[in-house]
Amino acid sequence: MRQRLSRVLSRLERLAGRRLGALVLFVVALAVYAFEAIGWPLVGGRDLDEYLYDYVQFLDWHPLLPWSMLFRTPAMPIFAGVSLDVAGGFFAEPLMGVLFAGSIVAWAAAARAFGTRASLLVAAALLVYPAYGLLFHELSSDALFGAAFALWAWLVVRAAVQPSAGRYALAGAAVALCALVRPGNALLLAFVLIVLVVRGSWRERGRWAAAFLAAGALPLVAWSVLNGVRFDYYGLARGGNAVVPFYRAFISDKIVSPDNGPASRELARAIQQHLLTRDPYKAYHVTLRRVFTSGSFRIHEDLYLLSDEYFGWKTNYSILRKAGIEAVRKHPGTYTSGVAHTVWHQLSQSYFRSTPQPAAKRASPTTAANAKGAPPPPTEGEPIPAGQSVWISTPDNRIRDVWTSATQHHFVFRYPHDRVRFDQVERELDGLFGNLPTRRGNAELSLRMDQASRWYPRLILWIALGVVALIWRRPRSAAILAALALAAFAVVFFNALGLFADRHFVLPVAPAFVLFGAAALLGSRRSSVETTASTTR
């Protein structure tokens, strides 16, 4: 039995060292995705509505609804829109399968630089990782980022193993792709420092670093300039000031308070004068204290709109950012422990799909009341009902969401032709959402995959395995391996500075931790250049 297993392993190792092995792995990964799709049909993912608003208006030089277009970068709107638009969305699910399979191959190829057995373990571990597969059964930026990050990791390893300006340029271009999926990923440009752990003269390292930074930064600068010419906003994406650290301080840690400083008091005055005096806040008797202690997602979304309307579109949520910084300075312990808890939660929890919900499109104003005419209690324990509409925000406030009572509100357009264009955008959006798969998943299979996810080793275990194995075994190219894990950790940590724990913020980079543990344990002690030259050319 042992001899038979040894022969099978030898054959797999030989296959992993050939290009045919990558093709076989790609096909196997597609089969795994198809199997998972029986239980997990493709559904609309996080913020899909905002990406599709961007896609529908992408070619409009003066779009009616610019908020989503400036809040997001273009890679996901184009990918999601085209996949749902072409052939009635027929290719959307197969394309997600290709992203999944491609990411598995990229991670296995990156692991190949550390040894064939490490590559086999990484491939096997990711194929049976239900939570990572789940990521690609939701049409969202999370899956696209997961695939882009896998491409970046492979290109970085490839450049480190056999350095050249061209290869570092490709790795830098992959950073640009990651940032055009999610703007915060521009932080990966800092990992140009990886040239410091690669053998070469200082002149060569300088040339490689320049190629990396130029290829990574130029597309982002170009997009920022296009935003400036088109929207008079010279930046990669708008809205980050309302997220780091304000989002976390307001929603998760609940440390934003008028007592924290001048910006916080200015924000409180605006809330008191321009939110609490109108419905639905007025009808639900929401107090200033309730606003700051609720941790309400809906109120936070209204603060976006309040900032645009009251402080001005061009302030770019600077008051919210200042209020967040004041909160952190006043309560550094609470904020720091909150960030640490989020990072720990991200790395130590299992992840699975909750009960699938229909794809969420931004709702137009609705009317609701109970039989006695009294306003119904808000859902989800929120202080106010649903229906917040930051996505209609414009620089000149030409569209407004007017509440006439606790439950009744409607859009008001300054120009009649805007109503016509708005209705057209809504129809196009409805058509795209209607192209998502409508079949029901197999409930039994979905349950079993969720149960399997509970038993899958937590990411913190892969990290611990990697740390111990690095110290114990000291494999070659350990610095490159550690750099990839640090890049993944940087993404998790950066998200934790502004956001709560959520599987969507960790799963795209989770394979880097699997690679770290697997390659540290099984990685070759011979030079990675010797063992992988044939596979990285």
Alpha-carbon distance of 203 to 206, in angstroms, equals: 5
What's the CA angle centered on 82, arms 78 and 87, to 5 degrees? 180
Task: Judge whether residue 331 has pLDDT over 50.
Answer: yes
Residue of 358 and 505 predicted with greater confidence = 505
Average of pLDDT values for 471-491? 92
Query: In which band, very low, low, confident or very high, does the pLDDT at 387 lie, cut at 50, 70 and 90?
Result: low
**Does some domain include residue 344?**
no
Q: What is the tens place of the pLDDT at every residue in 29-85?
A: 999 999 999 999 999 998 999 999 999 999 999 999 999 999 999 999 999 999 999
Average of pLDDT values for 400-404? 88
Model pLDDT, residue 9: 67
Query: In which band, very low, low, confident or very high, does the pLDDT at 18 lie, cut at 50, 70 and 90?
Result: confident
Q: Are residues 376 and 268 in the same domain?
A: yes
Q: What is the tens place of the pLDDT at every residue in 451-460?
A: 888 889 999 9
Q: What percent of the chain has pLDDT over 90?
A: 76
Of 367, 447, 448, give the one whose Cα is nearest residue 408: 367
Alpha-carbon distance of 112 to 123, in angstroms, equals: 10
Task: Judge whether residue 155 has pLDDT over 70.
Answer: yes
CB atoms within 10 A of CB 358: 10
Of 179, 114, 173, give the one whose Cα is nearest residue 482: 114
Query: In which band, very low, low, confident or very high, does the pLDDT at 11 lie, cut at 50, 70 and 90?
Result: confident
* Least trusted range by pLDDT, from 3-17, 292-306, 431-445, 495-509: 3-17
Model pLDDT, residue 108: 96
Query: In which band, very low, low, confident or very high, does the pLDDT at 356 lie, cut at 50, 70 and 90?
Result: very low
Q: What average pLDDT does the structure give for the chain?
A: 90
Single out the residue in 352, 380, 414 at which a domain terminates.
414
**Does some domain include residue 429?**
no
Output b/e per residue, 417-437; b: 16+ Cβ within 10 A.
Answer: ebeebbeebeebbeebbebbb
Task: Judge whether residue 536 has pLDDT over 50.
Answer: no
Beta strands per DSSP E along 206-338: none
Q: Are residues 44 and 171 in the same domain?
A: yes
Asked if omega into 280 is within 30° of 0 (cis), the reply is: yes
* Least trusted range by pLDDT, from 176-190, 351-365, 452-466: 351-365
Q: Are residues 101 and 207 in the same domain?
A: yes
For residue 21, how many C-alpha atoms fall within 13 Å in the half-sphere facing its CB?
17
Give 324-364 as a DSSP string: HHHHHHH-HHHHHHHHHHHHHHHHH------S-----PPPP
**Cβ contact 258:288 at 8 Å:** yes
**Does some domain include residue 338?**
no
Average of pLDDT values for 330-349? 95
Q: Which helix (H) or strand (E) holds 43?
A: strand 43-44
Alpha-carbon distance of 403 to 111, in angstroms, equals: 56
Model pLDDT, residue 388: 67
Alpha-carbon distance of 180 to 278, in angstroms, equals: 38
Model pLDDT, residue 515: 97
Q: Are residues 42 and 93 in the same domain?
A: yes
Q: Are residues 47 and 194 in the same domain?
A: yes
Task: Judge whether residue 363 has pLDDT over 90.
Answer: no
Model pLDDT, residue 21: 86
Token output for 476? 């070659």
Torsion sign across C-alpha atoms 184, 491, 199, 122: negative
Q: Are residues 403 and 450 in the same domain?
A: no
For residue 535, how many C-alpha atoms fall within 13 Å in the half-sphere facing its CB?
30
Alpha-carbon distance of 126 to 129, in angstroms, equals: 5
Q: Are residues 495 and 386 in the same domain?
A: no
Average of pLDDT values for 429-437? 95
**Does some domain include residue 182?**
yes
Q: Are residues 228 and 186 in the same domain?
A: yes
pTM: 0.92
**Cβ contact 473:521 at 8 Å:** yes
Task: Judge whether residue 516 has pLDDT over 60.
Answer: yes
Task: Judge whether residue 365 has pLDDT over 90.
Answer: no
Q: Are residues 395 and 451 in the same domain?
A: no
For 65, the 3-state DSSP assignment is coil
Q: Phi, psi (5° rounding) for residue 403?
A: -95, 125
Task: Judge whether residue 287 has pLDDT over 60.
Answer: yes
Query: In which band, very low, low, confident or very high, does the pLDDT at 368 lie, cut at 50, 70 and 90?
Result: very low
> Residue with structure tokens 């998972």?
36
**Does some domain include residue 166?**
yes
**Does some domain include residue 347?**
no
Model pLDDT, residue 381: 81
Token output for 75? 């890679």
**Does some domain include residue 111?**
yes
Torsion sign across C-alpha atoms 138, 139, 145, 150: positive
For 400, the 3-state DSSP assignment is strand
Task: Judge whether residue 445 has pLDDT over 50.
Answer: yes
Q: Are residues 57 and 179 in the same domain?
A: yes
Q: Are residues 276 and 177 in the same domain?
A: no
* Helix 478-498 vs helix 459-473: crossing angle, to nearest 10: 150
Task: Judge whether residue 410 has pLDDT over 60.
Answer: yes
Model pLDDT, residue 371: 42
Q: Are residues 96 and 214 in the same domain?
A: yes
Task: Judge whether residue 184 has pLDDT over 60.
Answer: yes
Output b/e per residue, 30-47; b: 16+ Cβ within 10 A.
Answer: bebbeebbebbbbbbbbb
Number of domains in the chain: 2
Q: Which helix (H) or strand (E) holds 456?
A: none
What amino acid is encoded at 128 in this protein? V
For 412, the 3-state DSSP assignment is strand
**Cβ contact 516:463 at 8 Å:** yes
**Does some domain include residue 316?**
yes
The whole domain housing 378 covers 254-330+362-414
Largest CA distance in the chain: 80
CB atoms within 10 A of CB 264: 23
Task: Judge whether residue 529 has pLDDT over 50.
Answer: no
Number of residues that this document lists for the chain: 537
